[in-house]
Amino acid sequence: MSDRATLTRLYLGEVERAGVSAAELRGRLPESELLNAYFHGRYLSRPVFLGYGERTRLCADLELVRAALVSLPDRLHGGDVAAFARAVGLNEDQISAIARSRGPRTSLHAKADLQAGESGFQLLEYNMGSMIGGTDNADICRAMLEHPLLAGFAARHRLGFADTRRETVANVLAESGSRPDAEPVVAVTVWPHAWNTDLGPFLQLIAEQWRELGLAAHACHLGQLERRGGRVWLGGRAVDVVYRLFLLEHLLEPGGPAVMDPILDATARGEVAMFTPLDSELYASKAALALLSGEADRDLFTPAERDAFDRILPWTRTARPGPATLEDGRTVDLLDYAVSHQDDLVLKPAGGCAGEGVVLGWDPATTPDLWRKQLARATQDPYVLQRRIRSVPELFPGDAGGLVPWNLTWAVFRSVGGYGGVFIRALAADAGTELINRMSGTSVGCCLSEEPGPDTGRVASR
């Protein structure tokens, strides 16, 4: 078996010997209508690689973390989901919304965001539910594999990829109770103000792709759905599944409950299925992640769970006044410690997505005065402090030749079938910031991972 460092070194060696340019390696990627509708032509010049053993260990650790997060209401609050929701900072409107949309079990549709440091992968956040991007990463893999150099390398090293879009469709069918041959009508639904951004056209293209995979999918915003005759309708189509691309935090907007309540009520009455129910966001809260990282409830978890936390979970604490335990066992005043260790910490809202509201303590734009003000504000809302992950850049063929270092965020998907693929977001190491999101000019890429073969005693499944 290989590992990502070895595979990367071997592939870059082949690229150098062949004299292939970065533009050639990207191939027809810049021509993709679907990808360019949202990513605007910013693509890495090679896939990243992952060894089979690395993938197996990482997925096992992530599954232990996911299961632990989902179990927190039982372990901490006797099964009272509402009490757990209050503990991580949700209000009563949000708690009511969760109760009305919950299914018999928490969705398996999830994505873990990680960075790779000197000691291995470290978990930034664990996103659960339908509000996870990057599910079209297989299109990037297919486009890059059209180049014979990469295709040959992948064949020799048994490298493949999971099609996350197909995994997503399988998740929708399995968790909505639809038969694979039923072609349920799926409303791919965003919050109204997001519809007129570049997200609207992108989702229309996604819906078109899904229609080829067995879902009668149509993109819309929440205000376009209607309830009548005991069903939910999108125009003249009765909707079987609302694929939710709106958030719990939208309930905090003026008039938010009035927009969301009709669909939540329809879900509670069984008039439509929601993929995914809103409770998935509850377990994705970074305040929930802080509970796994903390020392107070550590004895509630098994040795295997604690070992997984220690391997991949950075020190994370809810941002509030009072004592906190450090990795070495010392107890400090959390806010005093945060002020004096600004360069080693990041401040994050417990909810939300896409890096909104994240403050990097070490960023040149984060002055000590701004950091103190952000800390003071964070104590009034659900925020967490997390230890900085000092990621190790990876090298990619540069557009001007040579190799260029990039900082990466790895998004590892989980589906009803287990491993669901990887999506990569990246910034050049000299970009001047380490906040990797669309606003910072992120480039995107994919991952080829080693498949099981004779030396692992298993048969490749993909």
Residues 6+ apart with CB under 8 A from 79: 73
**Which tens digits make up the pLDDT trace of 39-79?**
666 899 999 999 999 999 999 999 999 999 999 999 999 99
Sheet containing strand 231-234, strands side by side? 225-228, 231-234, 237-239
- pLDDT number for residue 231: 96
- pLDDT number for residue 48: 98
- pLDDT number for residue 178: 84
Report how far apart, in Å, the C-alpha atoms of 167 and of each of 203, 311, 381 are.
17, 27, 35
State the Cα–Cα distance between residues 124 and 355, nearest whole angstrom. 11
Given the DSSP bridges, would you call strands 418-428 and 241-245 parallel, antiparallel or unpaired?
Answer: unpaired
Closest by alpha carbon to 135, among 43, 203, 219?
203
Task: Please spell the DSSP secondary structure of 336-356, one letter per residue.
Answer: HHHHHTGGGEEEEESS-STTT
Residue 215 identity (one-letter amino acid): L
**Which tens digits make up the pLDDT trace of 80-114?**
999 999 998 888 999 999 999 888 889 999 999 99
- pLDDT number for residue 440: 61
Q: Are 159 and 57 in contact (CB under 8 A)?
A: no
What is the fold of 315-387? Dna Ligase; domain 1 (3.30.1490)
Q: Are 309 and 123 in contact (CB under 8 A)?
A: no
Task: Please spell the DSSP secondary structure of 357-417, one letter per residue.
Answer: T-EETTSTT--HHHHHHHHHHHTTS-EEEEEPP-PPPEEEE-TTSSEEEEEEEEEEEEETT
Task: Report the percentage of the chain scoring pLDDT > 90.
Answer: 75
- Say whether pTM exceeds 0.95: no
Match 């005043």 to its residue by tokens: 333
Q: Domain segments of the chain: what residues? A: 4-284+392-454, 315-387
Q: Are 242 and 274 in contact (CB under 8 A)?
A: yes
The pair of structure tokens assigned to 222 is 């929440």
Ranges in the chain, pLDDT < 70: 38-41, 352-355, 437-440, 454-462
State the Cα–Cα distance between residues 374 and 377, nearest whole angstrom. 5
The pair of structure tokens assigned to 459 is 């048969």
- pLDDT number for residue 40: 67
Closest by alpha carbon to 273, among 173, 166, 417, 353?
173
Longest C-alpha distance within the chain, in Å? 67
Q: Which residues of 19-38 are buried (b: 16+ CB within 10 A; e: fewer)?
A: ebebeebbbebeebeebbbb
- pLDDT number for residue 438: 59
**Which tens digits make up the pLDDT trace of 226-246?**
999 999 999 999 999 999 999
